[in-house]
Amino acid sequence: MIPFTVIGGFLGAGKTTLLNRLLRETVDRRFAVLVNDFGALDIDGRLVAEHGGDTVALANGCLCCTIGDSLVTTLLGLLERPERFDHIVVEASGVADPGRIADLAGLEPRLERDGVIVMVDAAEVRERAADGRLTDTVERQIRAADLLVLNKVDIASDLEATRHWLCQQVTAPIFEACHASVPLDLLFGLDRHGVTADVAPSSNFASWSYTWREPVPRKALMDLLRDARQGVLRAKGIVRFDDAPDRRFTVHLVGRRLDVRDEGPWGDMPDSRLVLLGLRPMLGCLQRE
């Protein structure tokens, strides 16, 4: 199954800037990116390997496709291509509901919903939401987020008020950024079959590695990972739980989706290990057991 991510947010929030970074900086991962308009993307000509009308193939293995008359038709056509992609990303239009687009993954067995990233303009979002003509659109987009990127914090006039307003609207983790400067591993860093990503240090973002010699209390760990207030954005590990100490469980958290799977007997494996990635101010309050 191919992970499927949607990047949404109102007009001018920074979606295209984030996609440009994704296309320029990606290494060792083949992304297929679906966009509404090639013209808005400033693709470095040195990256372009082939231009095929409605597609641009990049030298780093990524592919950029324009969405034609139907997103579903474009997506199905992409899945039928001979190339194998590691991840598919859709840039939702500025007035679309990204949550509904992400639901397409549930209708196509070759796709796996990997999350919704919603870009928010810190300088404009409260004004947009206060406009009765736009309130439903803006709030629906924000509520769909598995990760909310509060962008343009460098030009926001009342950032603290915007933070407070957003915390009343959503339970999703919030990452603050300028010019859509978000560590790409924060968006796609842990997949079900990959290796834990090494994320560059940031004042807002950090990772923790935990080990347990004894079986781990299942309820305590599940409650912690489900509590969005802790700021945990990604988690991946192999754990021996107290209620099944002879079994090996894989634990994955992507956004608000938590998956725990029984992988068989524990055998001669070493200690339980869990890696967490999240927002430093909140995640820093976690204590090692």
Q: Decide: 279 and 233 in contact? Cβ < 8 Å.
A: yes
The residue ranking higher by pLDDT, 43 or 232, is 232
- pLDDT in the model for residue 268: 80
What are the boundaries of each domain within the chain? 2-188, 205-283
Rounded Cα distance between 237 and 273, Å, is: 5
- pLDDT in the model for residue 58: 80
What residues pair up with 258 in beta bridges, in sequence order? 253
DSSP state of 198: P
Mean pLDDT, residues 75-98 taken together: 88
Q: Give the pLDDT band of residue 286 (cuts 50, 70, 90).
A: very low
Mean pLDDT, residues 120-136 taken together: 92
Amino acid at 249: F
Q: Decide: 176 and 167 in contact? Cβ < 8 Å.
A: no
pLDDT tens-digit map of 44-81: 556 566 666 677 788 778 888 888 777 888 888 888 88
Residue 222 pLDDT > 70: yes
CATH architecture, domain 205-283: 2-Layer Sandwich (3.30)
Mean pLDDT, residues 274-280 taken together: 70
| Mean pLDDT taken over the chain | 80
- pLDDT in the model for residue 115: 85
Mean pLDDT, residues 10-36 taken together: 86
Widest pairwise Cα distance in the chain: 61
pLDDT tens-digit map of 158-175: 899 999 899 888 878 888
Is the torsion defined by CA of 78, 83, 85, 89 positive or negative? negative
Q: Decide: 283 and 199 in contact? Cβ < 8 Å.
A: no
Rounded Cα distance between 93 and 7, Å, is: 9
* Nearest in space to 115 (alpha carbons), one of 228, 4, 227: 4
Q: What is the pTM of this model?
A: 0.66
Question: Tokens 């509404």 identify what position?
Answer: 36
- pLDDT in the model for residue 199: 36
Q: Looking at the domain that runs over 2-188, which CATH code has it been given? A: 3.40.50.300
The residue ranking higher by pLDDT, 221 or 53, is 221
Tell me how far CA of residue 81 lies from CA of 13, 27, 63, 75, 193, in angstroms.
32, 21, 11, 10, 23
Tell me how far CA of residue 266 lies from CA of 166, 193, 238, 241, in angstroms.
43, 19, 10, 10
Tokens at 274, concatenated:
């869990």
The residue ranking higher by pLDDT, 282 or 235, is 235
Q: Give the pLDDT band of residue 258 (cuts 50, 70, 90).
A: confident
Rounded Cα distance between 20 and 100, Å, is: 24
Residue 287 pLDDT > 50: no
Amino acid at 133: R
Residue 284 pLDDT > 60: no
Lowest-confidence range among 128-142, 177-191, 253-267?
177-191
